A and B are shown apart, each in its own frame.
Chain A
């Protein structure tokens, strides 16, 4: 059989034009997002060679709102409601580290009961966020039961938080100096009842989703992020802990009352998408134990917030405080020049840090595995863009 060059020469003699495919012709550029239903306000372009991704460029910013600039116009208290907007499903955690940083700057002390209520709200909110994420992960794996169940059970926690804070998702509950209000009557019993029910549900989640052979086939061994890469890329939260690094801000730098709580840092050594999907589940289970202990140890009465002067301010200085949110470490770097408004606020969020792992994991993966890898990164575009 004649080789390709001969065939091309032959056909050119006959007047038929045949062009040999170059390497660039094989590549196709695809744009994923921002309107794509599987990316959630986030765009990235991939180049595919057949079924394999050979190049990936993230292009975030479609939901950038300039939160950091907005803080310069408002005082420390006025900043709270808009700072929780980047991740409304985890609003207690994103205002938590802000409050901690402002307390450090202004020297406000939080009453003990306030510290407990804060931690409870933060743990309940972690459940809300993780359930929402799990629902999305389920539907993008084509597992619609895993969309319905967490969405339904999430309502339990939303109802609890509504009873506690007065709002369903955007609570603005943490303030420098404590929380806005005390827990309602009968909150503890209601909370314990729902946690007991929810723990039963978690077993069912595990059976129908995590032990499902189809889910495991699609996720196990997909998107390997080794421990060394995870460390050098500086990823955080469940992505880091799925790569075998037991790092949790609640443990390494316990804030408020977390040093009195007995819990284990949940991590796995699988380094693949399955581990990244399973670690948040383990977190939810551990969080139930934490909520029980918090409710148990909470003082029966007392103040829930410190008395604030109007326009709280402190001496010029800076603070960098972190909490463990649903997506990993969430830090606030605040510089104060002594006025009631912050001079500069920088929000260091887990999603922005984990985005660096996306091109790293997608290059070399199959296009069909893209949603499996992308959503297991626990990425929340609005938070990353701020």
Chain B
């Protein structure tokens, strides 16, 4: 039953358990502004997940839509909503804006900690995507929500501003991303080896060209 809730084109079933956390819903939120603003945007194309982007915005849940709307009204062209599903929102930003957007998400929306930071290598686009899964402990209506803030950097000289000044909880996650994918986080105190052996002398192992020996 409940696993159906995640298929976001099935709105009738989402109203069961998930919406009891939603305190006040804003009916009739304008949906047109939520569509990804692609025209004239220098944002790198998000090829792998673009098929998930919400074309039919009237089918997506209201509360999530309202959170996304708050971000898009504040930053309009700077952010790019990739999808809105029940309890999940994914937005993409340029690396230069990520600290600004993250500060807004923390202070004004109430997402107060990072659950995980995952880097993904896209050799075809020559890019590395870093995704921050942000959650909230202090706001009860956001407790089940995960806001994914994502950005992309060039694969050859992978550098991103660190979010450690906004979210203390990203410290070890970013450090792990540095050693596993070779993304240098500017402003992070320790871009160093963390989980790999001390004598590791190979390329970062989660890059796609790294192959496990014998496979």
Contacts and interface: CB of A to CB of B under 8 A. Distances in A.
Chain A: interface size category: 35 or more
Interface string B108-125: 000011111010110000
Interface string B42-59: 000000110110000000
Interface in B53-76: none
A343 interface: yes
Contact of A316 (B18, B48, B118): B48
Given A315-B51, A353-B115, A61 B196 contact: yes
A337 B210 CA distance: 19
A342 B52 CA distance: 17
A248 to B, nearest CB: 9
A103 B133 contact: no
A88 interface: no
A255 B168 CA distance: 29
Interface in B132-162: 133, 135, 137-138, 143-144, 146, 148
Interface stretch (A79-87, A167-175, A226-234, A365-373): A226-234
A156 B77 CA distance: 59
B37 interface: no
Interface string B91-121: 0000000000000000000001111101011
A107 B118 contact: no
Contacts of B17: 254, 259
Name the prevailing secondary structure of the B interface residues: mixed
Contact of B115 (A231, A234, A245, A317): A234
A320 B49 contact: no
Nearest to A251: B143
Contact of A255 (B2, B7, B148, B171): B2
B87 interface: yes
Interface of A: 60-61, 64, 66, 68-70, 73, 100, 103-104, 107, 109-110, 112, 115, 230-234, 236, 240, 245, 247, 252-259, 315-322, 329, 331, 333, 335, 337, 343-344, 346, 348, 352-353, 355-356, 385-386
5 contacts: A232-B113, A234-B169, A256-B2, A348-B115, A352-B176
